[in-house]
Each structure stands twice: as structure tokens, then as C-alpha cells.
Structure 1
Amino acid sequence: MSTNTPNEKLAVQEKGSFYKKIAGGVSDTSEGGLEKIIFDDMVDRGWRAGDAKDYDREYCVDLVKLRDFLNTTQPKIGEELLLDTDNPTRRKFLARLEKEIGSRGIIDVIRRGIKVDQHDIELFYGTPSPGNAKSAELFAGNRFSVTRQLRYSLDESGRSLDMGIFVNGLPIATFELKNNLTNQDVDDAVAQYSDPRQRNPKERLFAFGRCIVHFAVDDQQVKMCTELKGKKSWFLPFDQGWNDGAGNPPNPNGLKTDYLWKKILTPESTTNIIENYAQIVVEKNKKTGQKTRKQIFPRYHQLSLVRSLLDNVRERGVGRRYLLQHSAGSGKSNSIAWLAHQLIGLRGGKGEAFDAEIFDTVIVITDRTILDQQIDATIRQFMQVGSTVGHAKRSGDLRKFIESGKKIIISTVQKFPFILDEIGDSHRGRKFALIIDEAHSSQGGKVAAAVNEAISDPEDTINDALEKRMAARKMVTNASYFAFTATPKNRTLEMFGDAFPGPEGKTKHRPFHTYTMKQAIDEGFIIDVLKYYTPVASYCRLESVVETDPMFDRKRAQKKLRKYVERHDHAIRLKAEIMVDHFQQYVLAP
């Protein structure tokens, strides 16, 4: 019999038939009820049920799942490590594992394994190669597990996380869950993670690089954090977006946030994230020279963007143009780097080993130094940068890199017309992916660069070059174009957008994928400048007062007010500071 209060029943009715079924059938609208829903759904989708008693809090591993994985995939090593009982050999192995994770991070340890004495130990087997029965068998040996009420603390045995998920006994993510029906939401989960008294960042499980990500989840929103630092913890939205803004769309078949565990955190999707997205990068402060490590996990729209592009290219092959309208604050640098990396080696058809690679070379067109560095950092996670990436800075570099087999070539917007000539004429037999970061131009800060940017829009450079070839019927057909921009012009929409029938039979165009300025504003990544734009309104009010005041001559007063607003040194200086600060923080910043 249901024990819901009147307020809970009303809230259940507002959340639709699915939640009514949960609340009325299970009689549990607490966060424990949400925890059970997530746990059961994940087990149904291939995750194994973990037992909190199997978690070793000293070494931060699920010993049973780790032992099962090694005994199944590397039985000889598993036998020699004596994992069944507590003994010096097992403790030595676990101590070495703990040390490697502490220095390299869980992502690299999972990808590359560790060496203990004479043993090279694999700790994870990635996505199997199509048609390779042995790699499929090894992948099946992985132990993806989810554990409820994970007690993690050596000092406070009563402290527990709502959920933890593991790969082969190694923790990769934690969850704090809240339920709006109990008047708690995702921000309460964030507050719990950020409170050192409740989730002490000095705990081993919360150390940098120990887990890949920490999720704060309720029934309507998801937020994530890659490094817990107490009050300084930075949680990013992990929502799908709704009505061009923040949040998630209504879900007639479940909770608004069930995409997290039903789509993003399936074993296959989790493997893909570990292999191609999650990473630790080293950033260097140009002023101090100090290096800091930063762990990165993709946001929802970044995963959606790259995966949808790869699926479309795999299905349709070379020759399409894609417009990606992603606002400032979307993390375009990472999105472009992840896309460039995964377009290399992408195969058509079903992705079988005998299917041909779709592209021979990926060319990234940008004027941002930060993007050069980001691509280098991303590629370094997966392959040798020197043999893979080339920076075409001088004439002749492009042809040299193409002929020498460089997989990724980075060039500038100004060289775009030459690039079209080169790949369309001299290398017509090869296939290219052109990733165009045309929304940014020559941001070196010098006066000459600023003047050039003012009179020459990089979007126009791209569009002009393509239109000339189209007019001459020499459009390059051996290339696909991926154009990133925040605010596309009509020409850009027509050039790269997807056509669809508009009103009165007119053809309209829209982006292939969007992360809107409204969503970036709603999620706090950029500022709504219109919301804080007051000078025009103030000027109009001053002018209105003068018009109705017989003590002042209207024309003379208006002239003096305009002179003050438009020419006063103090006003100009303040406006310039605001504009420059905003530009540096939200446009130049990665």
C-alpha cells in the first residue's frame, strides 16, 4: 500500500505516468527509490551487481571483481598474484597498482595497464575489432559493475556514496542522488560533494585522477565534476538541453535524466568514452611556467556532436558539408580535437576490418594557438604526435605533409583557398576531412591583427573560396567539410547547413548540430550581455527628462549628454575594459 503524502502524490501526478508508476508501485519516492531504479536499469543493460563488502577502502578496489577479471583474461598472472587471500604478494601488487594510479591517473592505467615484476598486466580490454573473435572474447571478460551504498572512508566507516561504478574492480565514477519529491535537487547533491565535512577531498577515492568523473543527479538534471576540491569543486551541466536552453526535455517513457544510465553509461558507451574522450592534460602557465594537470570528461553536447558526426560520415561517406553551430562556452577546442582524432581510422560500411578508411588526411583550419595545443594534447593520449600531426606554417608544408602520410594537418584560415586547390587538383585521388574553426581569426592581440580582423571576416574567406569553385564547377568532391561557428551568417548557413522545406515552398537551411548561445547563458558559461546592457536605456531616460524641462535648451543639453556618454575618457576606458575582459575570458579562453 502506498505511503505517499498528499504533496508527494501531487508531485507524482505532475511528473507523468512513469513516475506515478514508480511512486505508486514501489511506494518509495526517496533518493533510495531513485537509486534502485538506476541500479536495476544498469544491471539490465549489462552491468554486474557489485557488493559493497568487496570494496577495499585502503586500496580503493573491488577485490572480487578485479580477481575475477584477471583469472578470466590472464589466468596465469591471476594465479601468481595470489588474490584470493591477504598475503604479501597480493599487498605488493595492490600497492603498485595504487602507486601507478596516483602518478598516472586511472584513465592511463586502464588503457595501458601496469608492470609488476616480470608481469605486464592488462587491466581492461577495449572495443573489439570487427570480425576479431579473440578481441571480442577478451572484451567480454571485462567486469563492468555497479555498487550501491559504497562505504569509502578509512576514518569514517559510516560514510557512503549512493553509488559507485567500476571497471574490472577499479572505480571510475561516483554518484550522489537526490529526488525532487523529497524537496532536494541536483544542487543539494553538488553541495554534498563540495562540503569537506561530508566528502573530504583528501579521501583516497576522491584524490585527483582516482576516478574519472563524479555525478550529481536528480530526476530532472545531471551535473558532473572531474576533481573534487571542496568548495572549489567545479560541477558542469551534463544535460541534453531543452527549447534551445538548459535542462532536459520531458520523457514520456521515464525520468528526464535516464539518458545518463540508459545511453551514456552503457558498457559499450563507457568503453568508448575511456578510449576516445576522457583524458588528463598538462597545462603550463605562460607567466610562471608552472604546470598543472587537468582531467577532462566530455559534456553531453560534445559526445552527441562527435558521435552523431561519426555515424553520419560512416553512413554517407565523403563529400558532405556540416554546419556545427556551437556557442562560445561549448568547449569547441576539445570537440574539434576529439573529432579530428576519431575521423582518422574511421571506416565505412559496418566498420569491418576489410572496409576502407573513409579519410586519408584530416586538415584542421584555425588561427588559434590554443587549438593547436589542444589537438596535440588529445592526440598524445592515443598515438605518437610527431608522426601523426603536422603544422603547415610555410608554403610547401601542406603538400609535404600529405605526401609523407601525416594524418592530421593544422593550417590557417588565410591558406584555405590554397588548400582547396591543393587537395582538389594535386591530390584528387585522396580523401580529406576539413575541420574549419572559422569563427576565430588572428587573435594575437597586435594592432595589425585587430585591423585585419575588422576588415576581413574569416567566414567570408571560407565562403568566398568555396563559391568561386562552385561557380567554376570545380567544387572539391573528395573532401567533407565540418564548419564550427557560434553565429553563422546566412551565407554560411546556405553553404554548410542542411536544407529543408520552409514556408511558401522556399528552401531553408539549419545546422547539423547546435549548442545555442541561450543554453550557454543558461548554464553559466557566457554572460547575457543584453541583460546587463544599460547605457542606451540610461541615455534615453536622461533625454526624456530634458525634453520636458523648460529650464534647458533641448538641443544644447542633448549635445552635451552625447559628448559625455560617447567621448568622456572615463566612460570609454570602462567600456573598453569590460569588452577586453569579456573577450579574453570567454572568447580566447579554451
Structure 2
Amino acid sequence: MPTTDTSENGLETLIVESLVDQADYLPGRSQDYDRDHALDLAHLQAFVETTQPDVFAALSLATATPKRLQFLHRLQGEIAKRGVIDVLRNGIKHGPVHLDLFYGTPSPGNTKAAILHAANRFSVTRQLHYSKDEAQLALDLGLFINGLPVATFELKNRLTKQTVADAVQQYQRDRDPKALLFQFGRCMVHFAVDDQEVRMCTHLKGKDSWFLPFNQGDEDGAGNPPNPKGLKTAYLWEHILTKPSLTDILENYAQVVVEKDDQGRKKHKQIFPRYHQLDLVRTLLADAQAKGAGVRYLIQHSAGSGKSNSIAWLAHQLIRLERAGALIFDSVIVVTDRRLLDKQIRDTIKQFAQVSATVGHAELSGDLRRFLHDGKKIIISTVQKFPFILDEIGDAHRNRRFAIIIDEAHSSQGGRTAAQMNMALSETGKPKSEDGEDEDDEDRINRIMESRKLLGNASYFAFTATPKNKTLELFGVPVRRSDENGGDKTGYRPFHHYSMKQAIQEGFILDVLAHYTTVDSYYRLAKRVEDDPEFDTKRARRKLRHYVESHDHAIRQKAEIMVDHFHEQVIARRKLGGQARAMVICSGIPRAIQYYHAISAYLTERRSPYQAIGAFSGEHEDGGRKITEAQLNGFPSNQIEKTFQHDPYRFLVVADKFQTGYDEPLLHTMYVDKALSGIKAVQTLSRLNRAHPQKTDTFVLDFMNDADTIINAFSDYYRTTVLSEETDPNKLHDLQSALDGYQVYSPQDVRQLVERFLGGADRDALDPILDACVAVYSNDLDEDAQVDFKGKAKAFGRTYQFLASILPYTNQAWEALSIFLNFLVPKLPAPVEADLAQGILEAIDMDSYRNQVREAQALDLLDEDSELAPVPIGGGGGKAEAELDRLSNIIRAFNDQFGNIDWDDADRIGQVIAEELPAKVAANKAYQNAMKNSDKAAARLEHDRALETAIIGMLTDHSELFKQFSDNPSFNKWLKDTIFGATYEQAA
């Protein structure tokens, strides 16, 4: 009795039998493969004879005639020029005839098209001998459509100790990219397959061939889950490569696009969808077709997921999606701030339709109205401009149905932006009551409430890598969950997800936490006033920390650490082949300008070939004059991104710019001098994660944050993010009751203001009502009550604005109070708080400052889904009491926390550093000669040698000093800098 064939040949048999028996493929024969033209001649002849007999006869395809040879040369040349994707889609012209080479999916009811579509010949050939020169060379499998090759396979079997990596190596080592079958565009894709994983490549380039994972993902990570019915990779031939699926890929996904580099040189790139992209778009289309317009979808796809292509493929197919014979959506509106996405959508549409008739970019107020009138199907607009553009549109489109695709949902759906977008597209936008009469105040309130809801005539497709709790509740899928008491509660999760974990494991992004290093700052302050005044402890400590970290000496020292690290650990190690860039994250614009000057000065001193670029918004003080980033850099702001890609620029010093959405694969290292937490930490550090062929790692040097803070931030988004429970609307009742209880306003005040505002009254009709309420707030409430009232008023407005979008019911009293508070809150004066830390900076001096770089560490994240708490509603609370303490105690506590070397004899060590070491080093002859006859850099080298000699000479008497100099890199650098500064300046 024969045993199971567990060899590579057995896997080959399994795949072929599945495709032939289950997927209705036709078997191919290697001897039918025409190696001169890279096609299956038998299946090509059979297809043309069946579908286009007149053309078959005209071209003499039945026999080896010169006519047939001319045609085959023409076909081969067209594939070489246009690629097999375009040739299959559009056919070719040869002499007087047009030849169709593939019949696409027929529209419902079109019998003739259905017959032609059924005549397409999908075939699979085992052991395909493809080479003209080396007859023994054979591929494991080749897939053909109507005789034209579309995919190749190299198979491996882990049971024989060969894996998908061996299949990849076989392509890279043994498959000559000059061979006709492997030339660019000749096939749609090349697969490397074993029994556990699949990888794919669209452009074979020898050892530079880049194979991407084509796996389903397992536990939010790489690979594939166990398959109870067969091999882990069976989805490839059982689902992806079926005739309907492969036809769908050919018609709607696979494409060749043209990219331009900075010099305008064109490069062709072939795209085949990754597994999760295909799964996402197909799942969304199926759900939208089943449910129609008015549904919300949240897509949590990590950086590295290819989100731009996913959005482009989705937009292109949504405009053609039908239900019961009618289009589901009249227009698709894409909301994004990425210029790249605009180009990708155009490139995608270009493959299938006339771009100028299909896509419009709504930049100006009248664009959207014109695009809708002209029949534009896809309209692209920016997050900022979109609500204001829609606000100017008339009523003509309000009965239409929209698909709204939102790129980075958490930023574009915030507050008023979402409300204005919804109001502009709302079905309830007409200023008429239900019976056709002019609106009264109640009608107006109801209209505003309904307009804030997510629209019934639109489906939302919200993409984000880092969903917030509000985004999950707005767009996520509701799921029933058990609460801690055994009852039920409603949580929310994404409709589809591709996790950061999977993107990292599959190599599409890098793990920015794999090499993370913190820098501890140590400093001592000295009291310079004789008396000992009292200050507010908390405020004083914040001011002292800001003073110390912003001190020119501290900035200079940190800048030196950054520059030295970049040269010695990044450039010297040839990161990214010597092309690595660094970003410096600053806590504010003044500090960014400080860093720009400090880094630039030190680069010059080091005689470094590199320079820095500053990036910040607006005009700011610099050395007594106002300056912009363009003036600082010497070139326009809009050229920063491209300029940074070219030498001599290697440092990008930023303050609240380029921390989100910036995609630069050359960015390798980040120096952080800004407090980061939560989503901001994830977005900022993720600027480093973009993949590059020569990029194997990243590095973060953090002067401000601890590892636990960063771990907590990334844990929320490492796998799937879910919302633990929905926001409780009853909290609005509680807030309203508390606000009413302060009696700052009366029900009559609210009613009168709302009536006047909605009735279009003059501005001066509103202020008397508001000013009277402000007077009550200022005169009748003490300081704690003012803080509590104002906090709760802000919380009510913020929470109601969010809940009004999703609640299935309306509350007129809430709407009226929301309108009232939106006017009242800005008029409420802030409680007067004395700055009990004022004057502390004038009472202290910085005595010393140094940094200690810790060991690099890999930050490990928990491998589990994360839960976010619902939107917080609480507001108000009392004013925090100031804790007063004497200046001497504040300085002592500050120094205890931030100073870290306790010398056994601090006074003696101080004398050695201040007097003896400088004298010994200055007396060194080699150092003296270097100072007289060489430049500063050469003198520094001799100085460091002289200092090491002097320290070694003190080993017997000062072993503690020797140990710190040898084992503490930060102290070593500080001491060298200090002694060199003293001796070189003295000699000069």
C-alpha cells in the first residue's frame, strides 16, 4: 500500500489537482510552451479559435506559417512594451485585426458576454521548461490565462527541511531575470510557497528580487493560522487563484504604474495586492453591497500596510458597486491631506477608466459643486477645506448617496470638522419644517441635532493606524461583552485590522523600540540670594526643569551627544549604506531654534560635512530678530522634505512638524527632547519605521521620557485596539443637573439666547444675556466653584457634540444648552491664580550639568489586544492647593533627584578637576605643540591623550576618579569637554 507523498512533488500534485478538479483549470503541457515567445501556444490557439474564429483564420494560427510567426512576434513585443496585465485587459491590434485576449466579468443579463467570459482558458503547467538555452531548467508550476503566463511558482516542503526561504533563494540565484518569462511585466506575480508560508514578487532582479509576504496573518502576527482541512497555505490555490478571484485581481487590482524620481526619471513599478489588502477591499465591498448606504466602517491598518493602495482600490470599485441593478453610491469622496494619495488614486483609476472624467481634486470652494454637476465620481479633498467647501453647496446633491473615505480618521473627524461635513451632506438640510412651513425655533433645533448625526445617505470608511476611543465608538463594530458584574455591555472593535505586530514581523515596517536608549540628565543648582523665600513646590520644580533643560549649556551638551552619536554610531557603521538621516524632536519652537544653532555650531567645529535643517511654523524670535524656518535654512519651506533627502543635510530639527504623516525611509535615528505619551508617542517614534532595502534597524535616544511611558503608549496599538464599553449618555444628565445647580443661568436665559441666535438676531442682542450670566459667575461663585462650573461646561459641550452624532434619539434641552454654553464659555474669565513660583529663576544659578547615556534596550510589548476606556465625560473639580516650601529645600530636593555621583571626598575631587588636572594636561608638550601649530580638532586629539595619561598617573591616589572616567561614558565626555575648554581657551 503506497504511503503519503510528503515530498515537494507531492505538494506540486496537491496544488495541480486542486486547481484542475476544484477550480476548473485546464492542465497544461510543458511541450506546448513556446520558449521563443513565452506563452502556451496550444491554449492560445484554442482560445482564439473558440472566441474569434475569423481572426484565428486570418492569422493562420493553426499552422506554423510566417503569418503566425509575425503575430507571435507582435504579441511578444506588446507584452514586453505594455505588460501582460494591459495586454489581457485590452487585447492587441495586429494589422487590420483587433484580437481580444481575455473576456472580463460580464454585466448581469448579458448572455453573449457571459458565454465569452466562460471561454477563457485558465491553465496550470507542471515542471515548465522555460529556457531556450538550458533545456533542463524547469519551474515547478506556471499559471496561464488563454496561453499568456500570469504567475510562476517555486515550491518547497518543510518535511524535507526546505522552506519558503529556499524558494526565494532559488528565484534570486537560479532564475535569470533576462530569461523571457522572468522579464518585467511578463507575469503578474511570482510565488515562493511551502506548506506554511507564501511570498510573492512582481519584479525579478536576481539577488535584489524583493519577495513580500502573502500570508493571512496568525494571532495578529506574521504567518498563517492552522488549517483544520489541509495545509496552512491552501488558501492560495483554494481561494486566491480560483478563476473568479484571479479575474477580479486582473480586472481591479494588478497594475503597472510609472513613478518619477527627483530628477524626473521614470521608473515602472508593477503592483499585486497583498493578502490583507485584497481581503479588506473584498470584505468591504461585499458588506456595502449587502447593506447599501448609511453604514460605518473602521479599518485599523498599521503603517506599512499599503493603506494608500487599499484606499485607491476601494474608491475605484465603490463607484461601480451595484445593488438590485442600481449604483449604490453616486459619488465617492476621499478626505486626506496626503498629496501622494491623490496621485495613487489617479494612477489606479487610469488603469480602468478615463481619469479626467472620473477624478477631481476639490481645492477651491466651487470645485465640489462643479465636480458633482459634471459627473465626477471620485472627489478628493483635504481635511481642512472639505467642510467649508461643502458648506457652500446647494441642495441639489442632498438626495444623493455618498461613500466617504477618511484617511487617518482620528484627525479628520474631530469636533466641528465632522459636524460641518455632516451638516453639508445631510438629508435634513433644508430650512423647512415637515409640513412645509417656515421653520420655527423647535424646527431649527431639531435640524441642527439631526445634521450632527452621521448621515443616513452616506457610508463612512475610516482608516487609521491608531484609533482613539471616540473613533472606535463613531465608526467601530458594536460587540456585546460581559462586564465585571456578569451583565452585558457594548464595546466596539475595528471592522478590519492589520496590526503593527504583523507589519513589523513581515518586514514592512521596522520595530522602533528594538534599540531604545534613555539619557539621564544630572545637574545641580545653587541658591544665589541670601534670604530663603517660599515658592509653590510643584510649579517651582517644573520651572527649574525647564530652565535647566533649556539652558544654553545643557542644549550644547545634548547637541554634542547627538552629533557625536550620529557620527560614531550611525555614519561610522554605514547605516542605510551611509545615507542615514536623523530627526531631533524638540519641546517647542524656541528650543528647536536653540538646537539648530547648537548642532550647526558643533558640526562646524567637528569639521563635519553635514548640516542641519530647522522645521517649525510661523515667525519667531532669534537673537533679537524675527525669523522663519525659510530664513533660518536659506531655502523655501516647501522644499524641506526633498532637500533633506540629499547631502549635506542629515539632521532635521523639528517642533510640532513632521511628527505625523511624514514618510521618509532614510530616517534612521531619532533624538527626543520632548515629553511624549499616548498616541503622540506612537505617531512620533513611528516616523522611523519606514522600510528601505538597506535599513535593518533604527535607533532612539530619548532625553526626556522613560521606557515605561513609551511601552504603555505603544501597547494600545501593537495588536487590535478595542473599546471596552460605549460612552454613557446619562452622564450628560448628570452634567446638566450640576450646571443648572450653580444658577449661573436660568432656563429663560437659555431659551432667549437660542431663539435670538437661530432667528438671526444682531450680535448685540446676544451679549446682554451672556454678560449677565458672566456677572453671576464672577460675583457669586468662589474660586473652586468657578473652576468646577467652567470645567463641567466644557465637558458638556465636548461630550454632547460627540454623542449627538451617534445617539439613536434626540434631546432638545441638550441641544439648546449646548448652543448656549458654546457662547458662554469663551466669555467666562479664568480664575485668577497667583504664580507662587514667580521669581524662582532669578534666585538660582546652574552649578553643573551633565548627561549619562544608558545602555540600549529592546522594549517588549505585551502580545495581546488592547482595550481603550470610553470617552471621559467628567469635568470640573476644585483648584489644586499650592504646596509652599523654602527655596533651599526646593533646591536640595531637586539636586537629590537629578545629581547622581556621590564622591567619597567631593571637595578634594573638585580641587583635582578644577586645578590639578588642567595644570597637568596644559603642561603636556604634545598638546602644547598642537595648540600652537594645528587646528582645534587636532589639539583636541592631543588633549584627550594627555588627559588619559594624567588620569592614569593619579590612579593610586584617586581610584574613584579613574573608575568613573573609565566606566561612565557621560562623565568621561563631560570631563574631557571641561578640561579641554579650560586649557584650550586659556592657551588661546
| TM tier, smaller | 0.7 to 0.9
Aligned partner of 1:18 in structure 2 is none
Aligned partner of 1:99 in structure 2 is 77
Once the two structures are TM-superposed, the CA of residue 473 in structure 1 deviates from its matched residue by 1.9
Contact 2:365 2:388 in 1 (8 A): no
Residue 160 (str. 1) matches residue 138 (str. 2): yes
Contact 1:414 1:461 in 2 (8 A): no
Q: 2:342, 2:222 → 1: CA distance?
A: 30
Q: 2:364, 2:206 → 1: CA distance?
A: 48
Match of 1:252, SS? coil
| 1:372-391 equivalence runs, <5 A | 372-391=342-361
Of 319, 341, 356, 1:371 maps to 341
- Which amino acid letter does the alignment assign opposite residue 321 of structure 1? R
Q: Name the CA shift for 1:159/1:42 in 2 (closer, same or farther; >3 Å).
A: same
Q: Name the CA shift for 1:250/1:372 in 2 (closer, same or farther; >3 Å).
A: same
Q: 2:549, 2:407 → 1: CA distance?
A: 42
Of 397, 400, 425, 2:367 maps to 397
Match of 1:413, SS? coil
Once the two structures are TM-superposed, the CA of residue 507 in structure 1 deviates from its matched residue by 1.2
Of 559, 565, 570, 2:560 maps to 570
Match of 1:506, SS? strand
Of 520, 542, 548, 2:503 maps to 520
Aligned partner of 2:419 in structure 1 is 465
Aligned partner of 2:456 in structure 1 is 477
Q: 2:493, 2:408 → 1: CA distance?
A: 17
Match of 1:480, SS? strand
Larger radius of gyration: 2
Aligned partner of 1:29 in structure 2 is 6
Once the two structures are TM-superposed, the CA of residue 535 in structure 1 deviates from its matched residue by 1.8
Q: 1:192, 1:462 → 2: CA distance?
A: 56
Q: Name the CA shift for 1:487/1:62 in 2 (closer, same or farther; >3 Å).
A: same
Contact 2:391 2:420 in 1 (8 A): no
Of 254, 263, 276, 1:278 maps to 254
| 1:285-300 equivalence runs, <5 A | 285=261, 287-300=262-275
Q: Compare relative contact order (CA 8 Å, sep 6+) and give the higher one, 1 or 2.
A: 1
- Which amino acid letter does the alignment assign opposite residue 388 of structure 1? T
Contact 2:128 2:141 in 1 (8 A): yes
Residue 532 (str. 1) matches residue 515 (str. 2): yes
Aligned partner of 1:408 in structure 2 is 378
Of 210, 235, 252, 1:259 maps to 235
Once the two structures are TM-superposed, the CA of residue 37 in structure 1 deviates from its matched residue by 0.2
Q: 2:98, 2:420 → 1: CA distance?
A: 52
Aligned partner of 1:311 in structure 2 is 286
Once the two structures are TM-superposed, the CA of residue 502 in structure 1 deviates from its matched residue by 2.0
Aligned partner of 1:359 in structure 2 is 329
Unaligned runs of 5+ in 1: 3-23, 350-354, 441-456, 544-554
Aligned partner of 1:17 in structure 2 is none
Q: 2:52, 2:393 → 1: CA distance?
A: 48
Deviations 1:293-339 (A, max 9, x none): 00000000000000000000000000011101111100011101100
Residue 427 (str. 1) matches residue 397 (str. 2): yes
Aligned partner of 1:38 in structure 2 is 15
Of 227, 252, 276, 2:203 maps to 227
Match of 1:534, SS? strand
Aligned partner of 2:976 in structure 1 is none
Of 96, 99, 104, 1:121 maps to 99
Q: Name the CA shift for 1:59/1:587 in 2 (closer, same or farther; >3 Å).
A: farther
Deviations 1:438-494 (A, max 9, x none): 269xxxxxxxxxxxxxxxx44525875379869712232211110110010111001
Aligned partner of 2:86 in structure 1 is 108
Q: 2:383, 2:71 → 1: CA distance?
A: 52
Once the two structures are TM-superposed, the CA of residue 566 in structure 1 deviates from its matched residue by 10
Contact 1:416 1:465 in 2 (8 A): no
Aligned partner of 2:784 in structure 1 is none
Q: State the superposition RMSD in angstroms.
A: 2.7
Residue 331 (str. 1) matches residue 331 (str. 2): no
Aligned partner of 2:50 in structure 1 is 72
Contact 1:242 1:248 in 2 (8 A): yes
Q: Structure 2-normalised TM-score?
A: 0.51
Q: Name the CA shift for 1:462/1:121 in 2 (closer, same or farther; >3 Å).
A: farther
Aligned partner of 1:130 in structure 2 is 108
Aligned partner of 1:509 in structure 2 is 492
| 1:481-500 equivalence runs, <5 A | 481-500=460-479
Aligned partner of 1:190 in structure 2 is 168
Once the two structures are TM-superposed, the CA of residue 415 in structure 1 deviates from its matched residue by 2.6
- Which amino acid letter does the alignment assign opposite residue 559 of structure 2? D
Residue 144 (str. 1) matches residue 111 (str. 2): no
Deviates more, 1:575-584 or 1:174-183: 575-584
Aligned partner of 2:36 in structure 1 is 58
Q: 2:245, 2:504 → 1: CA distance?
A: 29
Deviations 1:221-273 (A, max 9, x none): 00000010001101000000110111101000010000001100001111110
Match of 2:186, SS? coil
Deviations 1:547-580 (A, max 9, x none): xxxxxxxx9xxx9999869961134556881566
Contact 1:346 1:357 in 2 (8 A): yes
Q: 1:213, 1:95 → 2: CA distance?
A: 23
Q: Name the CA shift for 1:34/1:466 in 2 (closer, same or farther; >3 Å).
A: farther
- Which amino acid letter does the alignment assign opposite residue 39 of structure 1? V
Contact 2:56 2:62 in 1 (8 A): no
Q: 1:439, 1:520 → 2: CA distance?
A: 20
Contact 2:364 2:389 in 1 (8 A): no
Q: Name the CA shift for 1:463/1:438 in 2 (closer, same or farther; >3 Å).
A: farther
Residue 176 (str. 1) matches residue 154 (str. 2): yes
Q: 1:468, 1:288 → 2: CA distance?
A: 43
Deviates more, 1:162-171 or 1:527-536: 527-536
Q: 1:406, 1:90 → 2: CA distance?
A: 44
Q: Name the CA shift for 1:30/1:432 in 2 (closer, same or farther; >3 Å).
A: same
Q: Name the CA shift for 1:497/1:571 in 2 (closer, same or farther; >3 Å).
A: farther
Q: Percent identity?
A: 58
Contact 2:163 2:194 in 1 (8 A): yes
Contact 2:201 2:212 in 1 (8 A): yes
Q: Name the CA shift for 1:510/1:373 in 2 (closer, same or farther; >3 Å).
A: same
Unaligned runs of 5+ in 2: 424-446, 524-540, 542-546, 567-580, 585-651, 653-657, 666-685, 692-988
Q: 1:464, 1:426 → 2: CA distance?
A: 21
Deviations 1:83-114 (A, max 9, x none): 22211011000000011001011000000000
Deviates more, 1:203-212 or 1:559-568: 559-568
Match of 2:277, SS? helix
Q: 2:373, 2:392 → 1: CA distance?
A: 12
Q: 1:166, 1:514 → 2: CA distance?
A: 33
